[in-house]
Structure 1
């Protein structure tokens, strides 16, 4: 398997990515564009998927959003900007001589799953979408387990933080372990703290949570016309499995839902990874 580096520009910054070449013996003239999730990089989890897809005959593209990994820019999660990064990579693939005659599929995990679903309702020349452990409505996902008073307190805190940014031009920056404070995320961060030290020491504005709360693709889902494969982790406490159910029920296109009794991060490892990657390869091969 040959892995080539490539660069494009997105929002005037150099965005860096990798092309995992398709196995010549099983080549399918299809490209899978992989989009990682919240604060991730293309070297976290994605290579193991890319290698399996490449071996099965797919060209695979991974990349780092602006400000993350090897790409230039400010370390900041602005959903609209990150979706624009994906759109720019997709444009590059549609126009580049090496890729333009191949069918393009979007692949997204966690927050990246929401991104690719929304883009599938907007972009042309997309042949299919895979989205796992994601959500459709940020506010619903992040507050559905709170009672009325807890929800009001939570929203008021985020509003006050944003207000301080507006009047004082100061951002409250917190490390990932503060932003991802649920029990499943704590285990994940502890497990990979040495391997991805730079990533896990990243500090992000707490107002990022407010921006994600404002994300919703509820009205975009029924507009998707290409086939969609979804994966739900039944014990996910980061992005609730109810959100995956909502997405599946709202889609009017050809669709399929994979379910596994595991937590959010378990989908990337061991048995669940092996089971799901097998299903993904079958689906993309159709």
Structure 2
């Protein structure tokens, strides 16, 4: 069965995405709820993961984060991690209204920024029965410290304060590029592989993507730490997919978070860097995720 367009209410904001029915299902089937990472939109390979889950007999619900892509929300291009986690929960609530969905078998999948969101969801949402966290952002403060020169950080804080005062006066939010060709240029994701992947994927698959986010998004990123609640996921099964050479969400931070998690858990090391999971390493990341959900949601 082909995917269908969906939309649902998230406390007054309409979020939009796709629903992929489980292929071959004769009755209700589990559902995997999915959203993308920092500034990304659903066309940036989430369709491939959702289709693979559907082919394996799992329903998949994919949506654009608020303020991005096809979803409503203002200010545009603003990323509030707390609101994004809440929207995952709205998406789960919506999924449970669909006739194809087994209400007792909900999995969540996230990658990069949303890889952190699903850790938070696993810790707090009792409806979630299995978690897959791919190349996750686990601690925004430490992540930024690993990417931004220490002598630049004070300047960022001054920018955050000035932006807050400007917004109080009614001015438009300050903006910053999501990625930059210059590794030393201002950008939320200042790594060469970030620039390459986003620009190439934008041209090939996601014309709606915009290379900017609000400055406040970076401030909220610095205050977000899913690693602080990872112990609470247990006894829900957790799979973490960590790239061996991840310089955007550093490998060592993800591994330290995995060590904090309690059983049942599993670690799969992916070859390459952060973005390889979506393209040349797609099978290496998709197959363990698919099998994890099949093991823990259909048994």
TM-score by length of 2: 0.87
Aligned to 1:166: 164
Indicate conservation of the 8 Å contact 1:227/1:253, yes or no: yes
Aligned equivalents of 1:11, 1:122: Cα separation in 2: 19
- Which of 231, 234, 257 pairs up with 1:222? 231
Which of the numbers 85, 94, 99 marks the counterpart of 1:83?
85
Shift of 1:168: 2.4
Q: Summarize the alignment of residues 61-72 of structure 1 with structure 2, pairs less than 5 Å apart.
A: 61-72=61-72
Are positions 1:277 and 2:279 aligned together? no
Quote the Cα distance in structure 1 between the aligned partners of 2:53 and 2:25: 13
Q: Is the 8 A contact 1:236 1:263 kept in 2?
A: yes
8 Å contact kept, 1:106–1:129:
yes
Describe the SS at the equivalent of 1:38.
Answer: coil
Map 1:33-182 onto structure 2 (within 5 A). 33-74=33-74, 75=76, 76-144=78-146, 150-151=149-150, 153-169=151-167, 170=171, 171-178=173-180, 179=187, 180-182=189-191
**Are 2:210 and 1:210 aligned?**
no
Segments of 5+ residues of structure 2 without an aligned counterpart are 181-186
Which among 233, 241, 248 is matched to residue 238 of structure 1?
Answer: 248
Q: How does 1:6-45 map to 2 (within 5 A)?
A: 6-24=6-24, 29-45=29-45
- The offset of 1:25, in angstroms, is 5.8
Asked if structure 2 preserves the Cα contact closer than 8 Å seen for 1:236 and 1:262, the reply is yes
Asked if 1 retains the 8 angstrom alpha-carbon contact of 2:120 and 2:230, the reply is: yes
How far apart are 1:14 and its partner, in Å?
1.2
Partners of 1:59 and 1:97 lie apart in 2 by 11
Partner Cα separation in structure 1 for residue 140 and residue 26 of structure 2: 39
> Equivalent residue for 1:2?
2
The CA deviation string for residues 47-99 of structure 1, in whole angstroms up to 9 with x for no partner, is 11111111110000000111211111122111111111111111222344542
Measured after TM superposition, the shift of residue 198 of structure 1 is 2.9
The 2-side partners of 1:42 and 1:265 are apart by: 15
User: Partners in 2 of 1:60 and 1:77 — Cα distance?
Assistant: 23
**RMSD of the alignment, in Å?**
1.9
Distance 1:44 1:189, change over 3 A: closer
Choose the corresponding residue for 2:261, options 224, 242, 251: 251
Range 274-283 or range 101-110, more displaced: 274-283
Aligned pairs for 1:193-204 (under 5 A) are: 193-195=202-204, 196-199=206-209, 201-204=210-213
Q: Give CA deviations for 1:201-243 in whole Å, capped at 9, x if unaligned.
A: 3422223212111111233111112000111111111100012
Give, in angstroms, the shift of residue 264 of structure 1: 0.7
* 1:142 CA displacement: 1.8
Q: Distance in 2 between matches of 1:57 and 1:251?
A: 29
- Number of residue-to-residue matches in the alignment: 280
Question: Alpha-carbon deviation of 1:102?
Answer: 4.5
**Runs in 1 of length 4+ with deviation above 6 angstroms?**
none
Unaligned ranges ≥5, structure 1: none
